[in-house]
Structure 1
Amino acid sequence: MTSQSAIESIRVPVIGVLGGIGSGKSFVARTAAEGVEPPWLVLDADKVGHEVLREPEIRSQLVELFSNAILDEAGEIDRKQLAKRVFGEDPAQRAARRQLEQVVHPRIRQTLLDRIASSRGDGYAAVLLDASVLLETGWQPLCDHLVFIETDIAARQERVAGRGWSMEELARREASQWPLDKKRACAAAVVFNDYVTDAAPQELRRLILGWLADAGDSGNSVPESSVVSPSEAPGSSVDDEPRLSTLSYHTRRVPWLSSLSSRRSWWLSAIRRFPGPLLFLPPFVRQPSP
Structure 2
Amino acid sequence: MKIIGITGGIGSGKSYVLDILKDMSGIYTVEADKIAHMLFMPGEVVNRRIIECFGKEVEGENGEINRNALKDIVMNSEEDLKKLNLVVHPEVKKYIIRDIEDKEASGYSLYVLEAALLIQDGYKEICDEMWYIYTDKELRIKRLMISRGYDRKTALDFMRNQPDDEFFIHNSDIVINNCGTFEELKKQVSDRVKKLV
- Aligned position for 2:2: 13
TM-score of the superposed pair, with normalisation by structure 1: 0.62
Match among 191, 203, 208 for residue 193 of structure 2: 208
Letter in 2 for 1:54: M
State the distance in 2 between where 1:95 and 1:115 align: 30
By percentage of residues, which structure has more helix?
A: 2
User: 2:104 corresponds to which residue?
Assistant: 120
Contact 2:12 2:134 (C-alpha < 8 Å) held by counterparts = yes
1:26 equivalent among 4, 8, 15: 15
Aligned with 1:198: secondary structure? helix
Cα distance in structure 2, aligned partners of 1:188 and 1:148:
8
In structure 2, C-alpha distance between the alignment counterparts of 1:196 and 1:208, rounded to whole Å? 19
**What amino acid is aligned across from residue 117 of structure 1 in structure 2?**
E
Q: Deviations over 1:179-238 (max 9, x none)?
A: 1211012222212224633221231122122023xxxxxxxxxxxxxxxxxxxxxxxxxx
CA contact (8 A) 1:42 1:129 kept: yes
Q: How has the CA–CA distance of structure 1 residues 55 and 121 changed in structure 2, closer, same or farther, with 3 Å as cutoff?
A: farther
Matched residue SS, 1:187: coil
* 1:29 partner letter: L
Q: Shift of the alpha carbon at 1:144? A: 0.7
RMSD of equivalent CA atoms: 1.8
SS of 1:204's equivalent in the other structure is: helix
Of the two structures, which has the highest relative contact order with CA contacts closer than 8 Å and spacing of 6 or more?
Answer: 2
The aligned residue for residue 61 of structure 2 is: 73
TM-fit CA distance, 1:29: 2.1
Question: What fraction of aligned residue pairs are identical, expressed as a percent?
Answer: 25
Instruction: Report how far residue 105 of structure 1 moved.
Output: 1.4
> By how many angstroms is 1:55 displaced?
4.6
Question: Do 1:136 and 1:177's aligned partners in 2 also have CA atoms closer than 8 Å?
Answer: no
Structure 1 runs (4+) deviating above 4 angstroms are none
* CA distance in 2: counterparts of 1:169 and 1:142, whole angstroms: 33
Paired residue total: 195
Q: Which runs of 5+ in 1 are unaligned?
A: 1-11, 213-290
1:256 alignment partner in structure 2: none
Q: Does 1:52 align with 2:39?
A: yes
Which AA in structure 1 matches 2:48?
Answer: S
Equivalences for residues 16-165 of structure 1 within 5 A: 16-36=5-25, 39-56=26-43, 57-88=45-76, 93-161=77-145, 162-165=147-150
Unaligned runs of 5+ in 2: none
CA distance in structure 2 between the aligned counterparts of 1:204 and 1:132, rounded to whole angstroms: 18
